[in-house]
Amino acid sequence: MSIKMMFSAMQIETGNPVTKIVLLKLADNANDKGECWPSYENIAKVCEISKRTAMRHIDKLIEMGFLTKQKRKGEKGNTSNLYNLSLDGVRVSPPSDTESLPPSDTESPDPVSSLEPVNQNVGSSTQPAQNTSQLRKKAFEHFWLTWRQAKKMAGTTNDAPKGHSETKFNLLFPVSMIEKKGAEWFRYEINQMCDFCNYVHIEIAEARENNRRSAFDRFERMMPEKYFTQKQWRDFNCEVAV
């Protein structure tokens, strides 16, 4: 999975939750160049849609300019599709959403994979703790953007105050804990937290599209504070579920 492609895909509004699910599936399979080659059957199975529906939404992504498709022929004469995602620099957000936000909230934070490692040699210096605080700040910004985009994609509201949510996030991840367990653990924890958030809201959006109830309806109006407290991402394998 390319964190870069997944991060870019989350910023895009396709106008249809199923189209967004297909885009995220392709981004999940893609390398950092945007290349992937899943079969229609695999896309349909993972997205829980029919093969014909998968083909239709892939064609829609091609029409929108987010994707190109190239036929490839194997050694045994079989054919497959090579997809290339074109997501660099794409930011599609309605003006009404960004104008009401403070400047710091409209900026896209760096993906968690780009965060600098934590200095484990604490000693008597305050510099390592400052570095860890900066890493935690970047991680929260990454989560907050993921949370807002997931809520928007699912058509639900995000009434949570950012400052209060960041306070609760900091309580969940004290500087001392991050320094003790290390940057790799923290990076994995944040990515799992964001992956689960995405999966839950994709499922809510798909259920709404198909006029059915979702197993995750309780997350529809959940605030970040409760999301942090429940920590359900730790018991959920997003790679298997998605």
Residue 237 pLDDT: 53
Percent of all residues in the chain with a pLDDT value above 70, rounded to a whole number: 76
Look over the chain and give the mean of its residue pLDDT values, rounded to a whole number. 76
Q: What is the mean pLDDT of residues 159-178?
A: 91
Query: Which residue has better confidence, 152 or 34?
Result: 34
What is the pLDDT confidence band of residue 74, given thresholds at 50, 70 and 90? low
Residue 175 pLDDT: 92
Q: 3-85 has which fold?
A: Arc Repressor Mutant, subunit A (1.10.10)
Beta sheet of 79-85, edge-to-edge order = 35-36, 79-85, 67-73
- CA 21 distance to own-chain centroid: 11
Residue 117 pLDDT: 40
Model confidence pLDDT, tens digit, residues 99-111: 333 333 333 334 4
Question: Partners of 84 in the beta sheet?
Answer: 35, 68
pLDDT of 69 higher than 50: yes
Residue 76 pLDDT: 67
Residue 236 pLDDT: 67
Model confidence pLDDT, tens digit, residues 188-201: 888 888 888 888 88
Domain ranges of the chain: 3-85, 95-241
CA distance 129 to 179: 8
Q: Helical H runs in the chain?
A: 3-10, 17-29, 40-47, 51-63, 95-99, 103-106, 127-154, 162-172, 175-181, 183-209, 224-230, 238-241
